[in-house]
Amino acid sequence: MKLSTKHLLGIKHLTTEDIQLILSTATQFKEVLQRPVKKVPSLRDITIVNLFYENSTRTRMSFELAERRLSADVLNFAASSSSAAKGETLLDTVNNILSMKVDLVVMRHSASGAPHFLAKHIPAAIVNAGDGINEHPTQALLDAFSMQEKLGQLAGLKVAIIGDIMHSRVAMSNMYLLQKMGAEVMVAGPPTLIPKYISEAFGVKVEYNLKKALQWCDVANVLRIQLERQNQPLFSSLREYSLAYGINRRLLDSLGKEIVIMHPGPINRGVELDSDVADGSSSIILNQVENGVAVRMAVLYLIANREN
Ligand code: NCD
């Protein structure tokens, strides 16, 4: 089976069959990653560039590890230490890299739509590793993989995405993916951090009361306040945010049921999650990170295979 699309620009463009194919391929790669020899020759003749125009820890390392586990040749590009700082355009940078015979571009950029722009202008396949406030497709895929692994199936699952919905590409990709796969989605947080027409536009539930959101859901996917994307104050202080929307053990214990806690990282401990929750038995945060490698291996393998 092959993906219906040449690039992975967003979950918006994937079919449910594409998503199922990526998740089942990731299951096979996760099995490979449990072996003493974790490397397979699948992408031996493929060269991949990781083009990171924005800071990243997990996503960049996870992509690089996935590429190396598949035996691809890997080039790393960080905008801060490159000629982008000397005024070179994105398209010039990429065309120069492609002339070195690169097959696949993994790209993170602070501008929404940057990978879509590139896809129109270059022949290589592109995997979006997060574009502005638009999408972060591989994060949603690894979130889905982790939910499925923990709870069995996505269909019928109740997932609350909590926090700074307005500035979150993780929220966007999760909303698309979970609904395509038959899960129910609620977004929760302060009214100033939730877009006004989100319910009409995306068919998600909206809840401003944290406890009610937690009482409703099976899984809480908790987000960081993306201060770097806010150019005006949208709440009075982090302390106040934490009082109204921070999740602590006491609150979880008061629900009278078990829910699963997720977070894409980086966590701001003591703001959206207390340490006893982030590191507690309900949390699958480190499983998400582990699964990220298998999921990205699946994405890269399927995209590269479609090309051949
Ligand atoms: C997220 C991102 O960069 O979009 N992190 C990640 O990729 N794991 C979320 C965030 O920065 O808060």
Cβ of 169 below 6 Å from ligand 1: yes
Would you state the structure tokens that stand for residue 218, as one six-digit string?
């099976």
What average pLDDT does the segment 65-73 reach? 98
The finding on whether 263 has its CB within 6 A of some atom of ligand 1 is no
Q: Which of 170, 285, 286 to mutate to test the pocket of ligand 1 (most atoms within 8 A of CB)?
A: 170
Domains of the chain as residue ranges with CATH: 11-135+289-304 (3.40.50.1370), 137-288 (3.40.50.1370)
Q: Cα(34) to centroid of ligand 1, in Å?
A: 26
* pLDDT at residue 296, rounded to an integer: 98
How confident is the model over 234-244, as a mean pLDDT?
Answer: 88
Among 50, 59, 162, the mutation site with the greatest number of ligand 1 atoms within 8 A of its Cβ is: 59
Atom of ligand 1 nearest to the CA of 224: 12
Question: Cα separation of 262 and 277, whole Å?
Answer: 10
DSSP 87-114: T--HHHHHHHHHTTT--EEEEEESSTTH
pLDDT of residue 147: 98
Q: Is 49 in the pocket of ligand 1 (CB under 6 A)?
A: no
Of the candidates 169, 277, 164, 151, the residue with the CA atom closest to the CA atom of residue 217: 151
Ligand 1 lined by 288 (C-beta under 6 Å): no
CA of 60 to the centre of ligand 1 (A): 11
Split at pLDDT 50, 70, 90, the class of 94 is confident
Q: Reduce the secondary structure of 237-264 to three states and give it as a string.
A: CHHHHHHHHCECHHHHHCCCCCCEEECC
Average pLDDT of the chain is 94
Contact 198, 211 (CB under 8 A): no
- Per-residue three-class SS string for 183-244: CEEEEECCHHHCCCCHHHHHCCEEECCHHHHHHHCCEEEECCCCHHHCCCCCCCCHHHHHHH
Per-residue confidence at 21, pLDDT binned at 50, 70, 90? very high
- Percentage of the chain beyond pLDDT 70 is 99
More confident: 83 or 292: 292
Q: What sign for the dihedral angle of Cα 53, 176, 151, 223?
A: positive
Is a pLDDT exceeding 80 seen at residue 231?
no
Residue 59 CA, ligand 1 centroid: distance in Å: 8
The reply to whether ligand 1 has any atom less than 6 angstroms from the CB of 172 is: no
What is the reported pLDDT for 308?
A: 46
What values do phi and psi take at 160, rounded to 5?
-100, 125
Residue 72: both structure tokens together: 């691809």
Closest to 295 in 3D by CA, of 123, 143, 159, 108: 143
* pLDDT attached to residue 246: 97
Q: Count CB neighbours of 86 within 10 A.
A: 6
Question: Mean of the pLDDT values across residues 58-81?
Answer: 94
Is the shortest distance between the CB of 224 and ligand 1 below 6 Å? Answer: yes
Q: What is the pTM of this model?
A: 0.96
Report pLDDT digits (tens) over 120-165: 999 999 999 999 999 999 999 999 999 999 999 999 999 999 999 9
Q: Which atom of ligand 1 lies nearest, measured to the CA of 129?
A: 7
Q: Using one digit for the tens of pLDDT, what is the confidence trace for 242-286?
A: 999 999 999 999 999 999 999 999 999 999 999 999 999 999 999
265 CA from centroid of ligand 1 (Å): 6
Cα-to-centroid distance, 116 and ligand 1 (Å)? 19
Atom of ligand 1 nearest to the CA of 136: 4
Which pLDDT belongs to residue 307? 53
